[in-house]
Amino acid sequence: MVRKVRIYPDPVLRKVAKPVEDLNGEVLNLAEDLVDTMLAYEGLGLSANQVGSLLRVIAVYKGEFTGREGEAQVLVNPEVVYYEGEDVDEEGCLSFPGLYFDVKRPYLAVVKALELRDGELVPVEITATGLYARVLQHEIDHINGVLYIDYLPPRERMRRLREWKEKRKQKLSV
């Protein structure tokens, strides 16, 4: 089922999600809904927070990195355990439609998680680089209550948010 993506400043976006203790119907439904919603909104990733759930679950559109259309990955309780390097690239976010800017992140990230595969949770350690690493870090930030706007200096963040809100107001009033 495609869920509504929460838009900033929805307070759920700033909350820290709780670890998943066991695989149950709620988690399986959330995982399926995350993938459906991510694909419907044409996103590269989506966190549970963004659809109003406070469980540590994210979905990533791996098709962008593997070339296999429709390939999605669902990770439960993911955490970055190592990172290195530096990469600056443009980021956007489904919770901030139309707001894009450069964000500096590590180029390489090692993520430990439980990957949902065929209804089972499989422990994985993912070594990701480039865009894949960026998307994983962005979504893991979400479940930690951190938003990509937090990487901007305070004055620039305020300015960009003010401009973004004004553009949204104009667009919504048309």
Give me the CATH number covering residue 22.
3.90.45.10
What pLDDT was estimated at residue 69? 79
> Which residues, at least 6 apart from 4, have a Cβ–Cβ distance to it below 8 Å?
51, 52
What pLDDT was estimated at residue 143? 98
Tokens of 157: 């963040």
Residue 26 is among the residues annotated as catalytic for this protein = no
**Catalytic position from the list 139, 156, 163, 166:** 139
Q: Are 68 and 62 in contact (CB under 8 A)?
A: yes
What pLDDT was estimated at residue 34? 98
Q: In 3-state terms, what secondary structure has residue 39?
A: helix
Q: Is residue 87 part of a domain?
A: yes
pTM: 0.95
Provide the residue-wise pLDDT of the chain in tens; the chain has 174 residues: 999 999 999 999 999 999 999 999 999 999 999 999 999 999 999 999 999 999 999 999 986 777 777 789 999 999 999 999 999 999 999 999 999 999 999 999 999 999 999 999 999 999 999 999 999 999 999 999 999 999 999 999 999 999 999 999 888 777
Q: Is residue 74 part of a domain?
A: yes
> Which residues, at least 6 apart from 120, have a Cβ–Cβ distance to it below 8 Å?
23
Q: Are 57 and 74 in contact (CB under 8 A)?
A: yes
Q: Is residue 4 part of a domain?
A: no
Cis peptide before 19 (omega within 30 of 0): no
Q: Is residue 65 part of a domain?
A: yes
What pLDDT was estimated at residue 171? 80
Q: Is residue 55 part of a domain?
A: yes
Angle at 164 between CA 42 and CA 54, to 5 degrees: 55
Q: Are 111 and 75 in contact (CB under 8 A)?
A: yes
- State which residues form the domain around 47: 11-173
Q: Is residue 70 part of a domain?
A: yes
Q: Is residue 54 part of a domain?
A: yes
Query: How many structural domains comprise the chain?
Result: 1
What pLDDT was estimated at residue 62? 85
- Alpha-carbon distance of 141 to 17, in angstroms, equals 10
Q: Is residue 109 part of a domain?
A: yes
